[in-house]
Amino acid sequence: MFRYFASIVLLSFFSQMSFAAQVTIEGTIKDARQIKEIYLYPDKSFGEFPKQIIPLYQKGMFSIDLDISYPQMAVLGVGGTYLKLYLSPGASILLDADAMIFPSGINFSGDGGEDNYLLQKFYEIDPPVREFDKQYYRIIGHQFPFSTQLEGYMNLYHPDDYRQRLEEKQAKMKPLLEDPHFAKATPDFQRFLRSEIDGFLHYGLLSYALLYAKREKIESNYFHLKPLQDGDINSDYYRNYLILNNLYTASLSEGNNPRAQTCYRLAQTLEQGRAKEYLLSEIIVDAVRKGDEETLMLFEEFLADYPESPFLAKIDKVIYKDISLFYGDKAPDFYLPNMDGGHNTLYQFAGKVIYIDFWASWCKPCLEKLDRLEAAKAKEANSDVVFITISLDGNEQIWKQTLKRRGYTGLHLFAGKSNPVIKDFKVKGIPSEYIIKKDGHFAPAPDDTDPKNLLALLRRLNDK
């Protein structure tokens, strides 16, 4: 089936056509000193151009032309700092900056200058978060990113106070829509900025409600937000809200492990435009990673509806990059230190059902999940299932202290931040869980957050 699946992707690649327009970025980086070149790369996986290395000429002058067919985010790097840019087809952005204070104090002008002036004003209120500074929480079987500030709000405040904090911050964003520069911005950017501002509140509220509904006894009306329709998927907040709201809506009828087909049909019904196209592609990517048997049918349907979609390349990439984690494929071995000073491998447990959980002591959702699992495991004392936790902590002593303090049972191994096991298992965030059957091959991903259901699944596999 996968060979047939791959052939469809290749056919889709050759069928794609784009109608691009040139965007020009030029300007001056003053006081560049030893900096001989700067770089530009797309901010998200659906960007149309590869990383660009741009030489700095006399007095720090630079210029680059790109062909793009739709608006997209890009990152401009100068030395060890970076700046996000909004690129529209046909734009000609003029940028004057000082390397000593970059990315502050930048002057924008030209066609597209108003867009990027407002973008930087927005980031002064809500600074962009680097990937390695994000905290990830698993919600309805999917990893969602949060800034340190938003995570702090979630942990500190009860529902009413939390909502008030978000609304206060959103109130600081809204004057940008009345700024004189906004009327001069491109229509695409105006839509993007509205998506960021609305998406900030919607994503923050819905994710909090789903994470802490039981702890805070949140009323159902907390979830009832006015839907955001056809926003700009260049907005991180809107894009994450789009995926989360789809999963939440599907979970109302199918629980915490909704089928890919249910999510896909909801997206077809409730969304529109490019947001709909993006969401459908994300549902397929998620189904591919989980080895969902409905993937092929959904992908054929997507290809028929969107034969020239820019998101086909993303689906293609995940098929080939993540194919080793399809259920039914053989799990890779590892060799990791344990709590007793020795080492363990995966293959030493051949013939047993194995549950593996990647976690870290600083990850609150990891600890909460392990606490729930530990209570349920007490009833499985005679089980032959092997429970393995693999820590991604940066400090081995903190890992050991956390385990001793919390009293977790099972086999505990340490990987740190750079062990090959992270790449081998394609860990995208934590907590991340895997089930390996007696034959050493992956079982379907365990997306149900209820430990009782997880243990029931492990028992069924163990009894086979």
What integer is the mean pLDDT of 137-143?
88
- CA distances from residue 163 to 49, 137, 150, 187 in whole angstroms, order as listed: 39, 19, 11, 30
pLDDT at position 168: 97
Provide the pLDDT for residue 31: 92
pLDDT at 199 over 90: yes
- Give pLDDT tens digits for 325-370: 555 678 999 999 999 999 999 999 999 999 999 999 988 888 888 8
> What is the pLDDT at residue 7?
46
Mean pLDDT of the chain: 86
Is the peptide bond preceding residue 337 cis, with omega within 30 degrees of 0? no
**Burial of 8 (C-beta count, 10 Å sphere; 0-12/13-18/19+):** middle
Mean pLDDT lowest for which of 63-77, 149-163, 204-218? 204-218
Q: Which pLDDT tens digit goes with each residue over 240-260? A: 999 999 999 999 999 888 999
- Quick check: helix, strand or coil at residue 7? helix
Q: What type of residue is 47?
A: G
| Distance (Å, whole) CA 129 – CA 150 | 11
The pTM assigned to this predicted structure is 0.69
Q: What is the pLDDT of residues 7-47, one digit of tens each?
A: 444 444 444 444 678 999 999 999 988 899 999 999 876 78
Minimal CA–CA distance to 440: which of 352, 323, 358?
352
What's the distance, CA 30 to chain centroid?
Answer: 35
pLDDT at 381 (0 to 100):
60
What is Dmax (Cα atoms) for the chain? 74
Range of lowest pLDDT (187-191, 284-288, 316-320): 316-320
**pLDDT above 50 for 2:** no
3-state secondary structure of 410: coil
H/E element holding 96? strand 92-98
The predicted structure's pLDDT at residue 4: 44
List pLDDT tens digits, range 169-189: 999 999 999 999 999 999 999
| Model pLDDT, residue 364 | 82
Which helix (H) or strand (E) segment holds residue 239: the answer is helix 236-254
pLDDT band of residue 447 (cuts 50, 70, 90) is: low
> How far is the C-alpha of 222 from the C-alpha of 208, rounded, in Å?
10
- Which residue ranges form the domains of the chain, and what is each CATH number? 18-119 (2.60.40), 131-325 (no CATH), 335-463 (3.40.30.10)
Residue 323 has pLDDT above 50, yes or no: no
Collect all residues with Cβ–Cβ distance below 8 Å to 76 and sequence separation of at least 6.
Answer: 25, 38, 39, 40, 82, 83, 84, 85, 95
Q: Are 240 and 145 in contact (CB under 8 A)?
A: yes
**Averaged pLDDT, 285-297:** 78
pLDDT in tens, 95-124: 999 999 999 999 999 999 999 999 999 999
Q: How is the chain split among helix, strand and coil, in percent rounded to 5?
A: 50, 20, 30
Q: Tell me, what's the pLDDT at 16? A: 43
Whether the predicted pLDDT of 399 surpasses 50:
yes
**End-to-end Cα spacing for the chain:** 25
For residues 197-210, average pLDDT: 94
The pLDDT, as a whole number, for residue 238 is 95
Sign of CA dihedral 195, 201, 207, 210: negative
What is the structure's pLDDT at 290? Answer: 75
Residue 445 has pLDDT above 80, yes or no: no
Round to whole Å and give the CA distance between 452 and 88.
50
Q: How high is the pLDDT of residue 365?
A: 82
- Secondary structure (3-state) at 317: helix
- As a whole number, mean pLDDT of residues 403-427 equals 90
Closest among 321, 245, 266 to 45, alpha carbons compared? 321
For residue range 370-395, list pLDDT tens digits in order. 888 887 777 666 568 899 999 999 89
pLDDT: which is higher, 175 or 69? 175
Whether 75 shows a pLDDT value over 90: the answer reads: yes
- Report the amino acid identity of residue 203: Y
User: What are the angstrom distances between the C-alpha of 144 and each of 127, 366, 430, 464?
Assistant: 18, 14, 10, 34
Residue 320 to residue 431: CA distance in whole angstroms: 24
Nearest to 281 by CA among 263, 293, 269: 263
Which pLDDT score, from 0 to 100, does residue 17 have? 43
Percent of the chain with pLDDT over 70: 89
d(CA 388, CA 25): 51
Position 391 scores a pLDDT of 95
The tens digit of pLDDT for each residue in 150-162 reads: 988 998 999 999 9
pLDDT value at position 315?
81
* Whole-number pLDDT of residue 320: 52
Per-residue pLDDT at 401? 93
